[in-house]
Structure 1
Amino acid sequence: MTEDSSAAPEPELKGIDLARRALEEARATAKANGKAVGQGRSSPKYGSGRPRRRSGWSGPGPDARDPQPFGALTSAISKSRGWSPKVSEGTVLGRWPQVVGEDISAHAEPISLKEGVLSISAESTAWATQLRMMQSQILAKIAAAVGDGVVKTLRITGPSAPSWRKGERHVKGRGPRDTYG
């Protein structure tokens, strides 16, 4: 570090003088980097690509300052946080009548959705057979409501009969029916 002995030592700056010196240095640095004074990140030429907003009123068109629909805000938050797959699964299970229609939902209900396999329980074996034949239409309705890839296959079951098998240990055979007569 070489100092010029002919230069007088600068007095220590305080308060407003220190702020002025910092501003002058910032302007000099900006000028050296090719930016004119007053051009910052919000400028369309150097900024983030967003159009510059007029101050005052927003005019007749939509603006970022306008109120946003709640559904749009929640979907934006779920996408930014990576919740979209879970929200889609919840839509299939929670809004079943709107997704597949009132007729199907009156006779079948979703049980679970795991790894793209939707388990559906029908109220009768006839409805289970009917739903198996309509499987491609049901998958198309679900894809239209929540997007492709959420539900890949359907597992449709009819009503289950009561089980006579109780507990871990049991004896093979007809069970309690063999004592009926």
Structure 2
Amino acid sequence: ADYVEAWCVQQGIQFRKRVITECKRGVTARDVYEKLSREIRYAFYQEAVDQDGVQAVMFGHHQGDLQENVISNLMKRCQLLDIAGMAVEDVSSDVTIWRPLLPHVKDEILAFAHQYGVPYFKDTTPAWSTRGSMRNQLQPLLADMYGSGYLQNLSSLAEHSCQMSELVHVHILEPFLK
């Protein structure tokens, strides 16, 4: 956070930070930690939106994050209409979220960063974590079994899920609720 703060100051970008002390990973029960830390983060986002008078909070999720979400959400038995779990524009806990990098793969983003001197951090996801195991073990296995096209198939599944969700909401739920 210190590096990001210094870079923001150097660029004339307002920086906000909220340290979560109310719970601690590895000490607090995982489900309690996940729920409480999410509530704290989104309250912080809402506070920033309100104080700065902006429309949304912007996240850096990319196509790889979406593909990981699809795998994770399928394993967690998420509903068919929300397999992606994220969209380019979304509302979560009353906070509008923009994800402008979502249509792009990580290699495109890194190429842009290198070309224009934009600093970034290497992936620090622990290998022992669920995401780390997915990246280091499951995804290479899926690529060996199904070829690299499996990633695009996950992205297509996410897109179809979003389209079906919109169809159901616009043509079934909203007319019914009126």
- Scaled to the shorter chain, the TM-score interval is under 0.3
Q: Rg larger in 1 or in 2? A: 1
Compare the two structures and name the one with the higher helix fraction: 2
Report the TM-score when normalising by structure 2. Answer: 0.23
